[in-house]
Amino acid sequence: MANFKAKAVSVPQVGGTNVNSHTLKKVCLEDSGGGKNSYHPIKTNRKRFQKSQLLYIATYNAKTLSTDEKLLELEEELKNVKWDIIGISEARRIGEGEVVLQSGNTLCYSGEETALRGVGILVHKRHRDKILDVKSISSRVLCLILQINRKYSLKIIQAYAPTIASTDDEFDIFYEDISTALLYGKTYFTLLIGDLNAKVGSKQNEMETAVSYHGLGSRNERGNALIDFAHHNNLYIMNTFFKKRDNKKWTWASPDGKTRNAIDFIISSRKDIINDIDVLNRFSTGSDHRMVRAEIKLNIKKERANMVLKRKSKKWVTPKNTDSYINCISSNLNYEDNMPMDEIYENIRESIKTAIEQFCPKEVKEQKLNQKIRHLMKQRRDMEDKTTQEYSILNRKISREMRKQKRQLNAEKIKSVIEENKSFKLLRKTTMGKREIQKIKDRHGNVVTQKQEIIKSIKLFYQELYTSKHCFIPNPMKIK
């Protein structure tokens, strides 16, 4: 089978973000898959620039995201990784919901009434407005539909399979849930990702089109079931299509480190959109799994409106001392009426800029994790053997420091509210972020989950609520 890895790095976008012509010479991308900064020359091919879109979609068994501390830990690790969508297995969050985090990223999750099992999908803030629909199938299967452009959309199904110790009935129900997700919503591209607890090995005969020759180890019974399911649904287990060293294939290690298997997969409905599959060794939040990431290139002609690069305007900050701010501008204005208009404009602009730098305080981002925790997390990333007692002790130490900092931040917020005489309602907001409306009933009582339909129903409700039902008829006798 052909190797689909594309080694050329002439891409028009980085992590789903447009790059303008002034920055196309050299782009620095941090990535903990390789552990070093990489400089990628980008060609300014206008035809390719219009048609390509690069996405990084990954899956990771986090063991738990039940607390805000573990969620912060995950987001801190992701700062060193190129990503757009992260599927989470074993999220262990209670119930189902959609939350916009303080970072701007969106977390969609589906769990049970207790902190067991559960799946989630973390969407980068740059794609927040592209979420069309989120469908919770079960506590093991979650479906998200992402808008690519007006014509094309991408379905991502995050799955967490039962373990080997589970019964066959549980396993059959799990695959029925995946089948439901595959049939839900018509999309042009489909990805099935997650911890599928199956060993597929390598291709054994030419009839097996769902796998290729670059798998890891042998195949078990659950692996045969996964391959049969992929064949039936015209899917491809892309981990097996890229030639890698064995230490770049395994995704799970036993506690003693002696057993290593590839049980986390990225499965696609199209082979040609996957540039590469990589296992990130240095990414770690204390789990015994490693992150699996796909580099996806969608060759779709983009709309002209999306080609216009929008500059982000800086938020205006009110000067601390208004009089000093005005005096600073006045003292720096030294133009004359007979000067050229360009010089007058430049003098005014520089005067305002100088006053802003002196008297308008810059907003300082709140540091969610202190330097000590970041240093400990870096130590954990750099550890090669993740099965030692030292690694376990380091995990517990990070968890303790995360809880300690959270208590300290909460105490500071309470003190700030009291000193500034603010409303205590501010403290009711969790550190996670703002909840999003995931589903709503329309005027006919039907439950709608698609973003556009939710917005339409809310808009219609308020239109009817505030529209007057009385018609004003003027008195003709009073009209002159």
Give a yes or no: residue 40 inside a domain: yes
In a domain, 385, yes or no: no
CA distance 15 to 84: 6
Is there a domain that residue 340 lies in?
yes
* Per-residue pLDDT tens digits for 31-87: 545 444 333 433 444 444 345 689 999 999 999 999 889 999 999 999 999 999 999
Task: Give the structural domain span for 104.
Answer: 13-305
A 10 A CB-CB count for 79 gives 12
> Same structural domain for residues 53 and 180?
yes
Does residue 426 fall inside a structural domain? Answer: no
At 118 the pLDDT is 94
Q: How far apart are CA 142 and CA 134, in angstroms?
A: 8
The confidence score (pLDDT) of residue 177 equals: 96
Do 150 and 118 meet the contact criterion of CB atoms below 8 Å apart?
A: no
Q: Mean pLDDT in runs of 10 for the chain (480 residues)?
A: 42 42 41 44 40 88 92 93 96 92 94 90 95 94 91 93 91 95 92 97 92 94 95 96 94 92 96 94 92 89 44 65 87 83 85 85 69 86 83 89 85 80 66 75 88 89 82 58
Segment 397-443, tens digit of pLDDT:
988 888 888 888 888 888 877 877 777 666 665 555 677 888 888 88
Instruction: Verify that 97 and 129 share a domain, yes or no.
Output: yes
Q: Is residue 429 part of a domain?
A: no
Instruction: Specify the pLDDT at position 275.
Output: 93
Same domain, 64 and 212: yes
251 and 294 together in one domain: yes
**pLDDT for 278:** 95
- Please state the domain count of the chain: 3
Question: Do residue 353 and residue 214 come from a single domain?
Answer: no
Residue 381, in any domain of the structure: no
Which residues face 6 on adjacent strands?
none
Residue 253 has a pLDDT of 94
Q: Are residues 217 and 282 in the same domain?
A: yes
**Do 124 and 156 share a domain, yes or no?**
yes
Q: Tell me which residue has tokens 């050229």.
A: 340
Task: Verify that 21 and 84 share a domain, yes or no.
Answer: yes
Same domain, 135 and 226: yes
443 and 332 belong to one structural domain: no
Residues 48, 127, single domain; the answer is yes
Query: Is residue 91 in a domain?
Result: yes
State residue 416's pLDDT score: 79
Strand-by-strand arrangement of the 85-89 sheet: 274-280, 291-299, 52-61, 85-89, 119-123, 106-110, 96-101, 433-435
Helix segments in 333-473, DSSP class H? 341-359, 371-382, 389-419, 451-466
Q: Is residue 97 part of a domain?
A: yes
Are 260 and 158 contained in the same domain?
yes
Give me 171's structure tokens. Answer: 């396993």
pLDDT at 309: 44
Q: What is the CATH number of the domain that holds 246?
A: 3.60.10.10
Q: Single out the residue in 244, 278, 305 at which a domain terminates.
A: 305
